[in-house]
Amino acid sequence: MAETKIQIAKAQLDEFKALEEFEQIATPSQWNIHLALKPRIKLWLTKNKNYLAALKRVEYDMPPKFIEKVDLSFKIDESIINQDEAQATYNQMRQITKEFRTQAMTLYVQSLGRENELLSNEIKRIIEGFPQENDEGFDAEPGHAAFKHYHNLREKRLNLEAEQSIHFLSEERVEGDTNDPEEHELLKLGPRFIYNDPKTASRRRTTELATLKRKIEARFFEKKVSPGRPVEQFIAELDILLQKLHDTRGNPRKLRNILNQNNTYDNLVSGIESSQSQDINSRIIIKKKKNYGRLIKRLKYKLHLKNIVLQKSDKNKVFHLGKLDDYHKKSEEYMDKTKAYKCLGTEDPLPDLIHRTNKYLLDLRLAKWITQKQYEKLCINSNEVELAHLYYLPKAHKPGTPLRPIISGLKHPTIKISKFLDELLRPLFDKMALETTVTSGFELVKQLQKWSSINIRQETIFCTVDVADLYTMVPQTEGVLSLKKMLDHLKLKQVGGLKIETIIRLSRFVMQNNYFSYNSQFYHQIRGGAMGSPLTLTVANCYMFFFERQIVKQISNSGGLYFRYIDDIFLAINWPIRHLMKQIDRWNHFDQNIKLSENIGSTADFLDLHIENQDGQLFTTIFQKPSYEPYYLPFKSIHPLHMKKNIIFTMLLRAIRYCSTFQDYLNEREKLRMALLLNKYPNKFIDEQFNNILLKLNTQSLTCNNYINCRQEVIDSPIREKVPVDYCKTIFVHFTYCSSMRTFPRKFHTLWNKYFGESPINEVLPVLGTRNVKNLQRRLIYTR
């Protein structure tokens, strides 16, 4: 599907270039025939899509609604007619309905086929008769050749679009009824899309202004100065400014008057322009606006009615449609396989868990294991907590679409303790495992470059190893003990004012008290940690660190390279493949809870990096999974423009860092361009950002001659460290963003300087941020 989208985008570009060439050399009669043919081609595209879809409907036994809704059925009084006779009559009804649907579908397909055939023949005749000899003194032969080339490209693009339309039909066959093209378009916008919602921005304005006022007053009080009238005046003027920006509705009466008074197109345009000059904030929109709110409600109702689960996929972050029964079935299979969850039935464990958590913390406080400040930070209010809930992300990139369990516990009774411990322990783990872990493909590129300059040979092999179900397979007791091993390894007796014993006690309490709800039942996780709890990642990482120590030593002694990212391991080694497989089999017996599965060869895919050994030379480029979807934040989404610029910067910078050859870089750059075009980014905007990135990298242009050196400079350049924020001289300001607020930052700073430029808080710098309204993921997806 993603490949088809990219092919369509490429075909459109090629077709547009061919059309430009044809336009420059076409004779007048050739151009007139082209213009006359365009509507017929457009009509043929629609008819061809309908015909191909109808053929697929026959193949899938999926008649269209106007045929499917015909159903002969009536009630038989079984108190008079016996059950067998009534059943025979019901069977006859179904048979008559089936025969009608078959005949109706046959007639429907025949009709569409005939329409398609006649229209195709008409277009064929026009093309065969296209002028190719001298035409009224013009040389028609170049125009004829250019038209043929253009028409072939157009035909290629039309066939790809028809193929794409059938793909959606096959999806519908699997996942359920999603016939509405508007709903398809909505889902294609993806989870991150935000539509313009000035009403929500206006509704939040009062609260946001009140928050800002409190912050400004607090800064005055810090200076021991009364805020006075300037603060009131600033807030009042800011309120008026925001009201104007939020009130962007056009005047329908004004538009009707213009339409009634101006009959010609020129008069209509001049009338609209004069109206706009009178009121620059009004927007006259002749095209009816899409009502996203109503469309979302309708889609949610349909999904609920048909028991379809809409979820964000695990890796490529696009929408995935699945059947509720399949989710429940796969959930049961996963729980049976891992044996990590104990069903508690319908008895809610939350009240008891709240009581035990607070009692445990109080006991630690009374025993002086934690301070009063730490106790107040970690104890919980029963009105502010709720039990975690389990949901699944579909792994659409894997066969059979397995599920990844996520336990969402943002308000779980133990979440404060989990975050507190993770903030203490994760930096310690990062320091301890610095030489054996990576957090990105770019880190691995740098390590591979350094290693391969000395060690790579023709026989060098790469290996990626996956650890099965790491989070749920780590035993709770041993997982907590691995934290103690880490602290002993680092020779620490206290961390953040806490004794080691206190940290272990709190960690054990968190790991052993993971409760959650799923499908109206309550569960207790008796094995592993909750994927979603901050501490779980650190526990799993520590457990793996002590598991892999022997392996790391073995690989290092053999001159190899070993790195791990959570449950994915990468190896580069000069061993025979058979020997490496034998070693992995041996490693699989180190710990019964850790099961390793490997991929070995001269090429490897690790994270988002593709690695190759070509006759003793290292080559790298970007890796994309087979299920990759070219989805980025849509250009039409109501986000600040700098966010869209940052996407292009980040992705092109990744291409330069990862691609070891200039040709690979060009390929990835064009793939990125196609993906951005599919997400409605203007080509001119894309080119501007590509050029800006090269300027930021102090490069005019990349060529095959300078690429290697420029790339190395980029790789070697230090990553800019975050500048620490001086909170005493900074005030953070947030307002909800909508499409009319593009000029708001400049106006805000002008107002700030007007009222506070010479005030006691003139050294305070306001940092303006944006709040977003709900995106499609938050509006459409329920995880409970």
Q: Does residue 346 form part of some domain? A: no
305: pLDDT strictly greater than 60: yes
Q: How many domains does the chain have?
A: 2
Between these two residues, 280 and 107, which has the higher pLDDT value?
Answer: 107
- Which helix (H) or strand (E) segment holds residue 358: the answer is helix 350-366
- Extract the tokens encoding 394: 């579909």
Give the amino acid at 766: P
Angle in degrees, 0-180, between the axes of helices 229-246 and 744-756, rounded to the nearest 10: 170
pLDDT, residue 61, reads 66
Q: Does residue 164 form part of some domain? A: yes
Range of the structural domain that residue 14 is part of: 2-175
Q: Does residue 783 form part of some domain? A: no
- Extract the tokens encoding 47: 């008819």
In the listed set 672, 704, 736, which residue is the last one of a domain according to the structure? 704
423: pLDDT strictly greater than 90: yes
Q: Does residue 677 form part of some domain? A: yes
Between these two residues, 450 and 164, which has the higher pLDDT value?
Answer: 450
pLDDT, residue 335, reads 87
List pLDDT tens digits, range 721-741: 777 888 888 999 999 999 988
pLDDT, residue 273, reads 43
List pLDDT tens digits, range 748-760: 999 999 999 888 8
List pLDDT tens digits, range 376-386: 999 999 888 99
463: pLDDT strictly greater than 90: yes
| Pure H helices in 193-228 | 198-222
For residues 247-265, give the mean pLDDT.
45
Q: What is the DSSP letter of 167?
A: H
pLDDT, residue 644, reads 94
pLDDT, residue 417, reads 94
Highest mean pLDDT among 20-24, 351-355, 495-499: 351-355
Beta bridge partners of 617: 614
Cβ-contact 392, 516 below 8 angstroms: no
pLDDT, residue 272, reads 37
Between these two residues, 251 and 188, which has the higher pLDDT value?
Answer: 188
List pLDDT tens digits, range 202-230: 999 999 999 999 999 999 998 888 888 88
280: pLDDT strictly greater than 70: no
pLDDT, residue 167, reads 64
| Pure H helices in 433-533 | 441-455, 470-473, 476-489, 500-511
CA distance 479 to 540: 7
For residues 619-645, give the mean pLDDT.
90
For residues 642-650, give the mean pLDDT.
94
For residues 472-491, give the mean pLDDT.
92
Does the pTM surpass 0.75? The reply is no
Between these two residues, 473 and 606, which has the higher pLDDT value?
Answer: 606
pLDDT band at 535 (very low <50, low <70, confident <90, very high): very high
Query: Would you mind telling me the total number of residues written for the chain in this entry?
Result: 784
Distances (CA, A) of 479 to 369, 508, 564: 22, 9, 18
User: How high does pLDDT run on average in the chain?
Assistant: 85
List pLDDT tens digits, range 50-107: 888 888 777 666 777 778 777 777 777 777 887 678 777 877 887 788 778 778 888 8
List pLDDT tens digits, range 139-189: 778 888 888 888 888 888 888 888 777 765 555 544 444 456 788 888 888
Q: Does residue 170 form part of some domain? A: yes
Cβ-contact 440, 566 below 8 angstroms: no
137: pLDDT strictly greater than 50: yes
Distances (CA, A) of 22 to 25, 145, 710: 6, 9, 39
In the listed set 145, 175, 205, which residue is the last one of a domain according to the structure? 175
For residues 281-302, give the mean pLDDT.
68
Q: Does residue 112 form part of some domain? A: yes
pLDDT, residue 466, reads 93
Q: Does residue 778 form part of some domain? A: no
Q: Does residue 62 form part of some domain? A: yes
For residues 415-424, give the mean pLDDT.
94
Cα–Cα nearest to 432, from 478, 508, 495, 505: 495
φ, ψ dihedrals at 525, nearest 5° = -80, 115
Between these two residues, 784 and 297, which has the higher pLDDT value?
Answer: 297
Between these two residues, 718 and 399, which has the higher pLDDT value?
Answer: 718
pLDDT, residue 263, reads 43
pLDDT, residue 235, reads 93
pLDDT band at 666 (very low <50, low <70, confident <90, very high): very high
In the listed set 704, 723, 751, which residue is the last one of a domain according to the structure? 704
Cα–Cα nearest to 245, from 283, 289, 294, 273: 283
